[in-house]
Amino acid sequence: MDYLVVYTSKTGNTQKVAMKIFETLPGKSKDIISLEELHGEEADTYFVGFWNNRGTCKTEMMDFLSSLHGKRVALFGTCGLMGNKEYLKQVERQVSVFLPDDNEYLGCFLCGGKLGPSILEKYRQMQAVNNTPQIRALISSYEAAMLHPNEEDLENACKFTEFVLGLVTKEKEE
């Protein structure tokens, strides 16, 4: 198989981006599957999607990434806190580090994603104890995240996919 989109999604955000990436991939030698349903399927190029869990991905995704060898791998993910570009670079580093060196790393696309209501409740409890500017900023970020992934995010996921396809095509021609 040429392409395999493997993702994990807690609230449906990453699944939505995964579907858009899958739709953008050319040809018929492709598949999409959740990490939980993966049973040995393999491809030359992987698009691996995760939801940001405290600056990285969940343990099962770390294990999956660590199991890949000799593949081309592009990462994508959703993140509730999108305002800080340095934080997003840190998330990319924290996840890509699990890829063994014999893989070709093709880059990472991150976009916003809705957070679960329990997060807002936690922020509101923190605010009741100490109404700091940092807590108000977290609540504001939560509210902004409720609008994502939006059409612009999905369009950017398409552009990222096309960029990765350009890298893969260039490599095949060389």
What's the structural domain count of the chain? 2
pTM: 0.89
Full domain range(s) for residue 99: 3-113+149-173
Q: How far apart are CA 11 and CA 16, in angstroms?
A: 10
pLDDT, residue 174, reads 62
Same domain, 124 and 62: no
Give the model's pLDDT for residue 172.
64
| 92 & 143 share domain | no
Residues 60 and 103 in one domain: yes
- Which of helix, strand or coil describes residue 143? helix
Q: pLDDT tier at 22 (50, 70, 90 boundaries)?
A: very high
Based on the domain organization, do 11 and 86 belong to the same domain? yes
In this structure, are 53 and 139 located in the same domain?
A: no
The CATH number that applies at residue 105 is 3.40.50.360
Give which of 80, 12, 76, 5 is closest to 46, Cα–Cα.
Answer: 5
The answer to whether the CB of 42 falls within 8 A of the CB of 2 is: no
Calculate mean pLDDT across residues 38-52. 94
For residues 71 and 128, state if they share a domain. Answer: no
Phi and psi (nearest 5°) for 167? -65, -45
In this structure, are 123 and 85 located in the same domain?
no
Q: What percent of the chain stands above pLDDT 70?
A: 97
**What is the rounded distance in angstroms from the CA atom of residue 62 to the CA atom of residue 64?**
5
Q: Per mean pLDDT, which of 32-36, 120-124, 167-171 is the most reliable? A: 32-36
Of residues 130 and 171, the one with the higher pLDDT is 130
Query: Do residues 160 and 120 share a domain?
Result: no
User: Which tens digit of pLDDT belongs to each residue from 106-144?
Assistant: 999 999 888 888 888 999 999 999 999 998 988 888 888
134 shares its domain with 73: no
pLDDT at position 171, please? 67
| Residue 96 and residue 56 in one domain | yes
Are residue 130 and residue 60 in the same domain, yes or no? no
- Specify whether the CB–CB gap between 17 and 153 falls below 8 A: yes
String of DSSP letters for 49-112: EEE-BTTB--HHHHHHHHH--S-EEEEEEEES--S-HHHHHHHHHHHHTTS-TTSEEEEEEEEE
Same domain, 105 and 125: no
